[in-house]
Amino acid sequence: MDEEHLVNQVRHLQEVEGLSIRQVADALGLSRTKATRLIRQGKILRKPRKSILDEYARLIEDWYEAYPSLKASQVHDRLQTYGFSGGYTTVKEYTRPFRRKKKRMYHELTFLPGEEVQVDWMQRSFPFGTAYGFVLILSYSRYLYCRFYPRQSMEFFLEGHIEAFRETGGIPRRGRYDNLKSVVIKRRPEIIFNSQFLDFARHYGFSLYACTPGRANEKGRVERVIRDIGSFISVNTFTDMDDLNRKVTLWRQERNRTVHRSTGKAPLDLLPEEKLKALPQIPYRAYRLKTATVTPTGFVHFETNRYSLPSGYSHQPCTLTVYPRCLEIVIGSRTVAAHQRSFLKNQTIEHPLHREKLISITPHFKDQRILQLMTRMDEAVALFLRRAEAQGADPVKDAYILFKLLRIVSKATLLSAIRQANALGTFQVSYLQNLLTPQTVKLQPVYPQNTQLLQIDYERRELARYDDLI
């Protein structure tokens, strides 16, 4: 039997009779290997079995054309709304060809001096907590800026830009971003940028470019440097956020001084060639706004913590102006309270004077409440009172004196003086009183010992007599 006839016979048995490869091999007395070779030689394929998904084929194709990254579970959920009663495994096998990632061809992007900056966030976990890295790289010179923050929110996003622009000495013409909520609110049917960040970009005079979702290559420069930062972090240890930023800064400074393989020059040497726009005379204030309602006990909740307000504002709506390191509580058009931010969880941040009215209403509670307020105000105060008590002082009385000092000096001034006293090892509250209380000196009149001098009378002269002296 010649080869051609054999191929035709194999084709008939498989396509017409519907036999399997094993059955074809047995019928013709062939090995399975040879039967398989003949099938491939004649480009004979097993007649595909009908699938219960065939009637949904066009629908599935449309879905994957619109959303290439659809998961089989998502397709299964969608099909159920069309009356499909089959299982997930059937859908998974059927959609496998649609989910195969196609290899894409990329071309290397080139940029002119000052044309663009690429920006993104990175996140890492440490023993002291989670830190978020703001990463910015100038596309032409490859100059790198990076700083880690305790939050990935708008105020830190803006501060990262401001500090990076200040360090590089200017502003590029365009910023390239991923689909961050701080930049892009939504993409369909058209891109809508975050209004506050758009205002920030107008202030500094640069345009915005949002990358296509799933196309990391569109911001390849910042993606690569994020991997490098991650590699540096993985082989080092850090005690806290300050230590992390200090070591990362030293690392990136060395990187900016190192010759780049693509440009043949160090980013620091190329930085003067960047044609950056001049910085505005007035920098943008890095902040975000958040609404809240004052609790019946006179606090507002923010990021799991409680911040105090003066008495009389319970149940009122308010606006929080959140800066990177502090926040202001605004009711109407008036700022009624300001606090340093705490990045710990479930903390109570309370200004002692915010409870002055309550303390006056309940005098039996006053002393212990004041001690509690002052101790909780800052660790420096708690340390001062503990050391003073160890030297025989009454912490209740000392706390009350410190509380009264807040009526004549600011909280920041008092804390600065207390920290100074702690550093000097001086734990007497009188030291703080002398340091912070204005000293008034009563001047006493001075009388001469010879009282006759008080009776001296002077001869009045006409002004014309002085003409002779001129």
183: CATH: 3.30.420.10
In this structure, is residue 12 part of a structural domain? yes
Residue 316: per-residue pLDDT: 93
Residues 6+ apart with CB under 8 A from 374: 352, 381, 385, 399, 402, 403
Assess whether 164 and 145 both reside in one domain: yes
Given a cut of 70, whether residue 314 has pLDDT beyond it is yes
Instruction: Report the DSSP pairing between strands 174-177 and 207-210.
Output: parallel
Q: Give strand pairing partners of 339.
A: 327
Are 112 and 172 a contacting pair, CB within 8 Å?
Answer: no
SS3 46: coil
Whether residue 444 lies inside any domain: the answer is no
What mean pLDDT is predicted for residues 99-122?
75
Among residues of the chain, what percentage have pLDDT more than 70? 83
Domain assignment of residue 451, yes or no: no
Q: pLDDT tens across 136-166, in order?
A: 999 999 999 999 999 999 999 999 999 999 9
Residues 6 or more apart in contact with residue 108 via CB below 8 angstroms: none
Using the predicted structure, report yes or no on whether residue 283 has a pLDDT greater than 60.
yes
In the predicted model, what is the mean pLDDT of residues 280-286? 92
Q: What is the pLDDT of residues 172-221, one digit of tens each?
A: 999 999 888 899 988 777 888 999 999 999 999 999 998 877 666 678 88
pLDDT computed for residue 247 by the predictor: 96
Q: Are residues 20 and 78 in the same domain?
A: no
Domain housing 296 = 288-350
Predicted confidence (pLDDT) per residue in 289-313, tens digit:
999 999 988 899 999 999 999 888 8
Pick the residue with more confidence: 395 or 102? 395
Residues 139 and 227 in one domain: yes
Question: Residue 121's pLDDT is what?
Answer: 95
Distance CA 68, CA 132 (A): 30
* Cα–Cα distance, 396 to 371 (Å, whole number): 6
Report if residue 105 sits inside a domain: no
Q: How confident is the model at residue 44 (pLDDT cuts 50, 70, 90)?
A: very low
User: Predicted confidence band at 470 (pLDDT cuts at 50, 70, 90)?
Assistant: very low
Shared domain for 364 and 338, answered yes or no, is no
pLDDT at 449: 62
Residue 462 belongs to some domain of the structure: no
Report the distance separating Cα 264 and Cα 445, nearest Å.
Answer: 81
Mean pLDDT of the residues in the chain: 84
**Residue 319 falls inside a structural domain:** yes
Asked if residue 58 and residue 33 are part of one domain, the reply reads no
Same-domain check for residues 328 and 212: no
Mean per-residue pLDDT for 452-466? 61
Same domain, 128 and 175: yes
- State the total domains in the chain: 5
Confidence label for 238 from pLDDT (cuts 50, 70 and 90): very high
209 and 125 in a common domain: yes
State pLDDT tens for residues 113-124: 999 999 999 999
pLDDT at 446: 61
Confidence band of 357 (pLDDT split at 50, 70, 90)? low
Q: 268 and 306: one domain?
A: no
Is the pLDDT at 91 greater than 50? The verdict is yes
Residue at which a domain ends, from 31, 65, 99:
99
Do 147 and 255 belong together in one domain? Answer: yes
Q: Is 346 a domain residue? A: yes
Write down the pLDDT at residue 16. 64
Residue 109 lies in a domain: no
Does residue 399 share a domain with residue 334?
A: no
Which of 326, 350, 374 is the C-terminal boundary of a domain? 350
C-alpha pair distances (Å), 6 with each of 19, 20, 38, 45, 171: 15, 16, 8, 16, 75
**Distance of alpha carbon 11 from alpha carbon 23, whole angstroms:** 12
- Name the band, by pLDDT with cuts 50, 70 and 90, for residue 101: low
pLDDT confidence band for 46 (50 / 70 / 90): very low
- What phi and psi, each to the nearest 5 degrees, are found at residue 284? -75, 140
pLDDT (tens digit, 9 = 90+) per residue, 252-275? 999 999 999 888 999 999 999 998
Do 267 and 121 share a structural domain? yes
